[in-house]
Chain A
Amino acid sequence: MKTEQYDAIVVGAGHNGLATGCYLAKSGLKVLIVERNDYIGGAAVSRELYSGWTYSNCSYVCSLLRPEVVRDLDLARHGLQVIPYESGATFMSNGDHFAYYSDHDALRREIARHSKKDVDAYDRYSKFVTKQCRFIKPLLLRTPPDPVRFRPRDIQELLYLGKRFHDLGARDMADTLRFYTMSVGEFLDEFFESEVIKAHLAGSGIIGTGLGVYSPGTAYVLLHHYMGEVDGSIGAWGFTRGGMGGVSKALGKAFEASGGTIKAGSALDRFLIKNGKVEGVVLENGDTYTANTVVSNMDVRRTFLNHVEDGELPGDFVKAVKRFKIRGSSGKINIALDGAPTFNNIPGTANFLRGDLHASESLDELERAYDAWKEGRWSEDPYFDMLIPTHVDPTMTPPGKHMMTLFIQYAPYELANGESWDGPNRDAFADTVIDKIARYSPDFKDLILHKEVRTPWDIEREVGLTEGNIFQGELTFDQLLFNRPVPGYADYRSPIRGLYLCGSSAHPGGGVMAAPGANAAREVLSDLGRKGFGRAA
């Protein structure tokens, strides 16, 4: 049993914990990060589970990562490289497809093939979404105000929000209010007539959520997936070279370069708390580390319900944490392929095969997939987001081979009748998805060398994301901004003095964004009377 002392301890080396660690270490603090797994990265990780193949085991595409953080922490120098990918497509059961080209003229021609009317609608749509992105982006790296406390900083922040909103002008204000409260399905219905175009765009509104395309609030989720950028190109997505673990790896290097210490394979048992103040952490192996500042990268449920002793927290707070919605709704399959699969009627040279591929062709189909989830079943006709990153980044497999990443919406955490995910259900789930793909790609099944199937249970067990929720908590209004994660505690602090949250459970939420991590660091440093540095903290 060891005991060591630090200025600050971060529990969890997810990308947010690493980002917090970096900011704290860079400001001169002696920082320790403890991580339960033998590897760092949490849900932003690359692992070799089949010899020669690197998988992006959880998250697989990058866009949300705040450029301010990339610059502040000099992540490019530490090896981060994001390669934008071009376009994507939705396959249709009639043998046709809709290709979502990034080239504007090509996209217009393609849209016209499905609906002449939708050509101009698309321009209006994309202008609208871009405007909403511009509105929201500056809020990502700010701490939300507490609207009921009226401290000077709350008032200042409320005024800032009010002014930004007011500056939109009456018309855009109304549009914005509607946008934040409506469903992605209805939002798209207002612009487009082609079902396949709507279905293609709607995916972003449901990924990771326990909501359907017609559930109010999903238009915001769409925005949550659009507000990122690659190389300054808003809404663009890219692959991290070497898989999504590349983000965490760069953060890890930056952290160690600033003098920080990472202990992997070191699971937290409990926080040391005395008189309402945190004093350190005790690991499962009995090692104890002390610090007056402890930041948890774990989700809010795990942090307070599993690792803080009963009686340390006010009852109301515990109740609020318990009702925090963190529902699993997604699955993941990573596949090692012997070669590039071909798709019916599509030449292998089509550049959209390098992007995100889907096979859900109407909003009703997506809504039905959600209905299955509500009833505790995985969708028989699931929505998937399928990519073959090795077209763009060949470093992940042996030459000529490929890796496929499949994100599947919807898969419930709790199966009907209390059935287990382990065993036959996991296989049946994978078969459902693979059979669906095989309808569009005749040689796909024969190319499969190995697969990693991750149900919500697996995601919870391996990454520690409660119920397998990819955002560390649903992105509904009752859990956004000043309501995230718990009303009154949106400022990264907790009822325990010195104990902070820096994971995606905190504002502005999930995705490989590093914003919660940067924001939490700023609040910690301000409590310590230290000036933050860089643009973000």
Chain B
Amino acid sequence: MTQYDAIVIGAGHNGLAAAATLAGAGKKVVVLEKNGDPGGMAANSTVAPGYECPAMAHLLSNLDGAEIASLGLERHGFAYAATDLPTISLSSDGKHIVSDAKGVRYADGGALAGEAEFLTLRARLIRFADQLAALKRKPPPSLSGIDWREAASLGKLALGLRRMGKEDMREFLRVLLSNSYDTILDEIDDGPLAGAFALDSVLGGHVGPRSPGTVLTLMYRLANGGAKHQPRGGMGAVMRAFEKSAKSAGAEIRYGAAVERMVLSGDRVTGVVLADGTEISGARVLSSLDPKTTMVLAGVGNFDAEMIRRARHIRTKGCTAKVNLALSAAPVFTGLSDDLHRGRILHAPSLAVMEKAFNLAKYGELPTSPILEVTIPSLADPGLVDGDGHVLSAVVQYVPYSLKQGWADDSRNALGDVVVDCLDQFAPGLKAAVTARQVLSPADIEAQTGAPGGHWHHGEMIADQMLMLRPAPGIERYALPVEGLYLCGASTHPGGDVTGIPGCNAAKAALQVKLGRAAA
């Protein structure tokens, strides 16, 4: 039987990034993925024959040049179909708002009141986000004694903050844990512009704009200036690049290989057993699953009660669904130019509406007016569709995992209808052009990816579950209290989105630890 240096559970992009990093360091690595394709939450799906669409994740923003380079993604086929997408925030009065790196204006080109205030706020939060970004490529600052190798990143943060000047530093310390609602509405009026900006502070989470802590989440999203890019070939193609990166570094990847449990010897992990009974042995196991699922796979008996309690308390209420449409013709949004159709089209009319939408989700109800982030990826990337139809990809925020009536087909259909009806109001005729529809509820997302609650980040991204508290105190540095066992997925620092950083960080943490003689 082959003995691996490292087994990675899950070929989501973080698992693949971890595998590439480990294999790149000369380790013998195998990635075990239960599904038939790589990518997890970032895979593609076929909505109808000939219609490829990003299944869940569709836009890149937090994928850094640094990871693109270190993983050699471009060499392995990664490319953008469009960069710096304009954001369009739909308004029921037809006065849609466009924002991009240059500024904000009405979709018809008209100037917008509050532009200056908005741009100042955005620029300030981007400055703050840049400072926080100093922490993302290292394990989070530790509470149990300082490791001087890492103190450098903290020092960099402190220095960066000081360099911003007193006023900025004060403002940083004030807004750090506040909510996006107040932070935004202190500067501009509520409406589609405020909604568009706030969406990034709540997207993927079980929080409303009024929830304190959402500014920190917003800053996480602004780390690269907040620009959004569309990958060529859908997010699935990006995953193929991650896969190739891992493979070319020497990692082996097995699909249809669901891990059923881990094998331990004493308090050291020595391998895994697959659902079909195959045993695979390895000196380290890196799991891209959340802590709770990972601990169950390792056997909860191997963790102390405190650890189990902490893992159990991680909040993972998924609140985001996905609706993908195959369309016989390109939709035409009233009041948007052709170019703007290629942008990121939002239905986030105001913070008040968003907060109200969150209310329903809190009590397990379906949205009546959905909050949406929509792209029509086939416009900039015709290769996704065979023929002249189009695909539309809609992330739907405030869809509860624990739906009162449960997630049977009729709930799924009801959600699909709400989304399509909402879009049809802005793009008359869209509804009639739908030839196939795929609705992924948070429960479906959980079933496909194994992420608890179908949660976008594998665990709520809010202050009490970020930095040294992510995913939970005591396991914030990737290692679990079983020797050789690590977490490497979105549940770990710095968090979810397509970044590859948790995977790379975890691999580096695993490489730093010398294993006991018997294991090595």
A interface residues with partner B (beta carbon < 8 Å): 147-149, 170-171, 173-175, 177-178, 181-182, 186, 190, 211, 214-217, 316, 323, 325, 364, 367-368, 371, 374-375, 476-478, 482-483, 487-488
A149-B166 contact given A173-B143, A325-B182, CB 8 Å threshold: yes
Q: Which of A177, A477, A488 contacts B170 (CB 8 A)?
A: A488
The verdict on B169 contacting chain A, using a C-beta distance below 8 Å, is: yes
Q: 8 Å CB contacts to A: which residues of B273-312?
A: 309
Distance of B404 from chain A, by nearest CB (Å): 12
Chain B residues near A375 (CB-CB < 8 A): 356
The verdict on B362 contacting chain A, using a C-beta distance below 8 Å, is: yes
Bound-state Cα–Cα, A175 to B464, Å: 10
Q: Which of A147, A215, A323, A371 contacts B173 (CB 8 A)?
A: A147
| CB pair B474 A215 closer than 8 Å | no
The verdict on B380 contacting chain A, using a C-beta distance below 8 Å, is: no
- The residue in chain A whose Cβ has the minimal distance to the Cβ of B171 is A487
The verdict on B327 contacting chain A, using a C-beta distance below 8 Å, is: no
**Segment at the A interface, from B130-138, B210-218, B329-337, B387-395:** B210-218
Chain A residues near B313 (CB-CB < 8 A): 190
- The residue in chain B whose Cβ has the minimal distance to the Cβ of A124 is B309
A177-B213 contact given A170-B143, A316-B167, A482-B173, CB 8 Å threshold: no
| CB pair B355 A478 closer than 8 Å | no
| CB pair A181 B177 closer than 8 Å | yes
Bound-state Cα–Cα, A174 to B169, Å: 24
Chain A residues near B35 (CB-CB < 8 A): none
Distance of B365 from chain A, by nearest CB (Å): 12
Report the 10 A-B pairs with minimum CB-CB distance, sorted nearest first. Answer: A174-B473, A170-B144, A487-B170, A181-B464, A477-B177, A478-B178, A181-B463, A182-B464, A217-B212, A216-B212
| CB pair A483 B173 closer than 8 Å | yes
Distance of A477 from chain B, by nearest CB (Å): 4
Bound-state Cα–Cα, A181 to B169, Å: 20
The verdict on B255 contacting chain A, using a C-beta distance below 8 Å, is: no
Bound-state Cα–Cα, A354 to B463, Å: 39
Extra 20 A-B pairs, beta carbons < 8 Å, given A147-B173, A175-B473: A148-B170, A149-B166, A170-B145, A177-B143, A177-B469, A178-B464, A181-B469, A182-B464, A186-B315, A214-B362, A216-B213, A216-B464, A367-B362, A368-B363, A477-B177, A477-B212, A478-B177, A478-B178, A483-B173, A487-B174
Chain A residues near B210 (CB-CB < 8 A): 215, 374
Chain B residues near A173 (CB-CB < 8 A): 143
The verdict on B246 contacting chain A, using a C-beta distance below 8 Å, is: no
Instruction: Count chain B residues whose beta carbon lies closer than 8 angstroms to a beta carbon of A.
Output: 38
Q: List 8 A-B contacts (CB under 8 A).
A: A171-B473, A171-B474, A174-B469, A174-B474, A178-B469, A216-B464, A478-B174, A478-B177
The verdict on B435 contacting chain A, using a C-beta distance below 8 Å, is: no
Q: Which of A178, A323, A371, A477 contacts B186 (CB 8 A)?
A: A323
What is the predominant secondary structure among interface residues of chain A facing chain B? helix
Bound-state Cα–Cα, A457 to B142, Å: 48
Binary flags per residue of B350-388, CB closer than 8 Å to A gives 1, else 0: 000001100100110000000000000000000000000
Q: Which of B142, B362, B473 contacts A178 (CB 8 A)?
A: B473
Counting chain A CB atoms within 10 Å of each CB, the highest count among B174, B211, B313, B362 belongs to B174
Chain A residues near B212 (CB-CB < 8 A): 181, 211, 215-217, 476-477
| CB pair B173 A487 closer than 8 Å | yes
- The residue in chain A whose Cβ has the minimal distance to the Cβ of B185 is A323
- The residue in chain A whose Cβ has the minimal distance to the Cβ of B183 is A478
The verdict on B90 contacting chain A, using a C-beta distance below 8 Å, is: no
| CB pair A148 B166 closer than 8 Å | yes
Distance of B84 from chain A, by nearest CB (Å): 32
| CB pair A174 B177 closer than 8 Å | no
Chain B residues near A148 (CB-CB < 8 A): 162, 166, 169-170, 173
The verdict on B176 contacting chain A, using a C-beta distance below 8 Å, is: yes
| CB pair A483 B174 closer than 8 Å | yes
Distance of B132 from chain A, by nearest CB (Å): 15
Distance of A422 from chain B, by nearest CB (Å): 25
Bound-state Cα–Cα, A473 to B166, Å: 24
Chain A residues near B142 (CB-CB < 8 A): 170
Distance of A180 from chain B, by nearest CB (Å): 8
Chain B residues near A215 (CB-CB < 8 A): 210-212
Q: 8 Å CB contacts to A: which residues of B150-179?
A: 162, 166-167, 169-171, 173-178
Bound-state Cα–Cα, A182 to B182, Å: 18
The verdict on B468 contacting chain A, using a C-beta distance below 8 Å, is: yes
The verdict on B462 contacting chain A, using a C-beta distance below 8 Å, is: yes
Q: Which of A216, A217, A364 contacts B363 (CB 8 A)?
A: A364
A177-B474 contact given A148-B166, A487-B173, CB 8 Å threshold: no
Chain B residues near A178 (CB-CB < 8 A): 464, 469, 473
Bound-state Cα–Cα, A211 to B214, Å: 14
Binary flags per residue of B459-485, CB closer than 8 Å to A gives 1, else 0: 000111000110001100000000000
- The residue in chain B whose Cβ has the minimal distance to the Cβ of A371 is B359
